[in-house]
A = this chain, B = another copy of it.
């Protein structure tokens, strides 16, 4: 699956393609809306990956995450959707997306999804 925001993600050529190394971006300002109640949800989204031929351009990642602001998304779904989009946009060697969602009904939630070229 991919989201309609996929085309917002820009990449640049990996400056050190001969070495496997790790990149992690953490955005504590992700917000979307509950598809059932219409109430805002808030999360910290972390993207951790080993680049293949390309890397995510940081400003485009910011714009991409903002695009979810007023859409309805379930926690489990949106975390996997972001993972799918990032895989489609840059085909990394390995990638993990984590969403740490704020307390709702006295319960906080974390979703963690990963992808690897090998698997």
Residues of B within 8 A of A39 (CB): 66
Interface centre among A28, A74, A75, A105 (most CB of B within 10 A): A105
Q: Is A29 an interface residue (CB 8 A)?
A: yes
For A27, what are the chain B residues with a Cβ–Cβ distance below 8 Å? 106-107
- Oligomer: number of copies: 10
- Picked from B14, B26, B80, the residue with its CB within 8 Å of the CB of A107 is B26
CA distance A74 to B51 in the complex (A): 15
Report the count of interface residues on A (CB-CB < 8 A). 47
A103 within 8 A of B: yes
4 tightest A-B contacts by CB?
A21-B113, A16-B80, A22-B112, A15-B77
> B-contacting residues of A (Cβ < 8 Å)?
1, 14-16, 19, 21-29, 31, 39-40, 42, 51, 55, 58-59, 61-62, 66, 69-70, 74-77, 79-80, 102-115
